[in-house]
Structure 1
């Protein structure tokens, strides 16, 4: 085996109920202005370097930014399936300071419930080389996004 060349697989499912109608939760992902209002780490970034938003099957989203006193993170996602108010499926790649970190498949499910929307994020990722132990960090980062979405839906801000 080549030293330092490894693969690791990680998967997780996170669910949360939001006290907002399904259309409102959906729009937080499907409308660019809405997504820009909550997506990412907010003040943790000192500079956004690239942003692209193309919400359609085959469309590509890009989010690249530099953390304060830290690395440049690059996210590139392709939408593979979209069913309005029901599900979004993407494949995406992450880079850290130009080094390919991971490839993932993520499904986002939206279900109406009494008083709002049940949201479920399920992800399966492959982590490369020195990032092979980063699956736990990805789950924590996704929890942070889900919390940011919750704050946005209830207060209109991060």
Structure 2
């Protein structure tokens, strides 16, 4: 089977209001045990690595129940404590390189708790060229899981 070589680009912004202090939201990303509690909850983990520092790498490989093997490899490019986290990351699906993205996570204290903003720009490769909406939907699911964890 010949793979048609193509690229697609996709970007989105998602904002959530979490009714907990900023420190609690920050720790859900910065503390390994907390991140494991909500990140990728619907997959059977095969490999996990967590190195929360500028230049550090995270890996999360897992199999969706009765579904494909997904691999996430991220590098932290900027961390300003309690303000922002910026990563570049690549995704694979069943061993095929799916995409490369830049994602920023911003944390802002509010009277009611914390405003969290996720901004992402991705490039999708070859057979995955139309998956931008799927990435946004998947990220919504992660932010919902984070909200449940924080509640």
Q: TM-score, normalised by structure 1?
A: 0.93
Tell me the equivalent position of 2:15: 15
- Cα distance in 2 between the residues matched to 1:37 and 1:49: 16
Tell me the equivalent position of 2:122: 125
What 5-or-longer segments of structure 2 have no aligned partner?
none
Q: How does 1:5-154 map to 2 (within 5 A)?
A: 5-40=5-40, 42=41, 44-45=42-43, 47-154=44-151
- Cα distance in 1 between the residues matched to 2:69 and 2:92: 8
* CA-based RMSD: 1.0
Q: TM-score, normalised by structure 2?
A: 0.97
For this pair of structures, how many residues does the alignment match? 150
User: How far is 1:3 from its partner?
Assistant: 6.2
User: How far is 1:48 from its partner?
Assistant: 1.2
What stretches of structure 1 move > 6 A for 4+ residues in a row?
A: none
- Cα distance in 2 between the residues matched to 1:19 and 1:116: 4
